[in-house]
């Protein structure tokens, strides 16, 4: 019976180290079991839970946070205005995935929008004071200084997407190039001879990759990429409208359009209807994301599906590893690229 006597009478509160010693594992492993991490084997979990029961260990969340210099909070930073946050399903899907993955942890989620240089500086000061344990950064532009700041202050961080092909900060991304290529190959396979594209803002690597996929499909079909068939926009519905009008002015003979987001495709659809073009009879249309926008368009939009909610979940998993120090900072940082899939509907 002595082996199962509860620790506490006369010996003080049992510690995490005592639990680790009893279970024959490291302190970090005990912490992961207590926090419900899935990155522990069933055998190890059982050993730790048995040690917790035998010692009568009770986690003290506040004491643990103070002792580890932890804030028990992570920030989800979106450097975009509210209009984009609420208009684009991409952001709500990311937030849903992040929230779902954090639900079984003790971490508080802080959602922060950055709309002005003043707000950016205020956030930089807040993060530099280490008021949070880690940062999830969504919608990254090439000139965004935040990722470099996070590295300088050694703040664990994960990006949704990348700034370039040589990204140094851990990230979770979609196969944007392959997805876009499959979309344009689909249009060409449907007999479309003059296929245009509406790009996202080209200071974002995601938009560059989707344009690269468009070009790869065009060249693979033995055609040349024509500048008059490429119009840059900004991932908004109004941007899609403007770009579609530009394309029709430049190449009224176009018969296929790949829009680099469903929201831009919705704007393009309006302009095509106003100009008397029937979709898909006169102009076939394909988007990217396979959001609710795609399913509710008339006709329903063919779109490249990316696992946006899973991206949010995966970002949290990678960030938790960074926070716990499970990722070796001297080697290649965690990088995940999730597959995409073309979903065919009536618009093409």
What does the domain layout of the chain look like in residue ranges?
A: 16-68, 73-174+309-338, 176-306
- 176-306 sits in which CATH class? alpha beta
Residue 254 near residue 247 (C-beta atoms within 8 A): yes
Cα dihedral sign, 88-89-92-98 = negative
CB-based contact 261:289 (threshold 8 Å) = yes
pLDDT grade, residue 29 (50/70/90)? Answer: confident
Predicted confidence (pLDDT) per residue in 222-279, tens digit: 999 999 999 999 999 999 999 999 999 999 999 999 999 999 999 999 999 999 999 9
Is 203 within 8 Å of 143 (Cβ atoms)?
Answer: yes
Lowest average pLDDT, out of 128-142, 211-225, 266-280, 300-314, goes to: 128-142
Mean pLDDT of 74-79: 92
Q: b/e per residue, 222-236, with b = 16+ CB within 10 A?
A: eeeeeeebbbbbbbb
Q: Could you check whether 73-174+309-338 and 176-306 share the same CATH topology? A: yes
Dihedral (C-alpha) 279, 284, 290, 294: value to the nearest 10 degrees? -10
- How far is the C-alpha of 256 from the C-alpha of 190, rounded, in Å? 9
Percentage of residues in the chain with pLDDT exceeding 90?
59
Q: Residues 144-148: contacts with CB within 8 Å, 24+ apart?
A: 144/79, 145/120, 146/77, 146/79, 146/120
Q: Phi and psi (nearest 5°) for 29?
A: -65, -40
pTM given for the model: 0.77
Q: Comparing 21-35, 59-73, 104-118, 151-165, which segment has the lowest mean pLDDT? A: 59-73
Q: Which residues contact 66 (CB under 8 A, 6 or more apart)?
A: none
What average pLDDT does the chain have? 88
Residue 307: pLDDT band with limits 50, 70, 90 = very high
Looking at CATH, the fold of the domain delimited by 16-68 is given as 434 Repressor (Amino-terminal Domain) (1.10.260)
pLDDT at 70 exceeding the cut of 70: no
Question: What would the CATH number be for the domain defined by 73-174+309-338?
Answer: 3.40.50.2300
The CA-atom distances, in angstroms, between 34 and each of 19, 46, 147 are 11, 11, 31
CA distances to 90, 270, 277, 286 from 295, rounded to whole Å, are 14, 16, 20, 12
Residue with the two structure tokens 């048995």: 50
Query: Cα torsion for 54, 58, 64, 66, to the nearest 10°?
Result: -140
């Amino acid at each position: 019976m002595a082996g199962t006597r509860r620790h506490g009478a006369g010996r003080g509160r049992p510690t995490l180290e005592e639990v680790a010693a009893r279970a024959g594992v490291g302190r970090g492993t005990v912490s992961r079991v207590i926090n419900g991490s899935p990155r522990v084997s069933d055998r190890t979990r059982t050993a730790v839970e048995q040690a917790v029961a035998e010692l009568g260990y009770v986690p003290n969340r506040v004491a643990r946070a103070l002792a580890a210099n932890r804030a028990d909070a992570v920030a989800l930073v979106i450097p975009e205005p509210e209009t984009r946050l609420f208009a684009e399903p991409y952001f709500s899907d990311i937030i849903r995935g992040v929230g779902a993955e954090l639900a079984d942890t003790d971490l508080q989620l802080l959602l922060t929008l950055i709309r002005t240089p003043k707000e950016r500086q205020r956030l930089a000061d807040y993060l530099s004071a280490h008021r949070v344990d880690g940062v999830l950064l969504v919608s990254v532009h090439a000139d965004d200084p935040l990722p470099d700041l996070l590295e300088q202050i050694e703040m664990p961080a994960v990006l949704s997407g990348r700034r370039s092909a040589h990204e140094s900060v851990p990230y979770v991304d979609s196969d944007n190039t392959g997805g876009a290529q499959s979309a344009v190959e689909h249009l060409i396979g449907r007999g479309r001879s003059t296929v245009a594209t509406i790009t996202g803002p080209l200071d974002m690597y995601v938009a560059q990759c989707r344009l690269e996929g468009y070009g790869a499909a065009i060249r693979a079909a033995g055609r040349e990429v024509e500048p008059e068939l490429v119009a840059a926009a900004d991932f908004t519905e109004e941007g899609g409208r403007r770009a579609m009008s530009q394309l029709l002015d430049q190449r009224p003979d176009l018969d296929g359009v790949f829009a680099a987001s469903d929201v831009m495709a919705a704007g393009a659809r309006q302009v095509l209807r106003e100009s008397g073009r029937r979709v898909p009879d006169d102009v076939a249309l394909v988007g990217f994301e396979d959001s609710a926008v795609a399913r509710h368009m008339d006709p329903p939009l063919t779109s490249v599906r990316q696992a946006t909610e899973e991206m949010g979940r995966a970002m949290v998993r990678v960030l938790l590893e960074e926070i716990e120090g499970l990722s070796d900072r001297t080697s290649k940082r965690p990088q995940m690229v999730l597959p995409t899939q073309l979903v065919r509907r009536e618009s093409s």
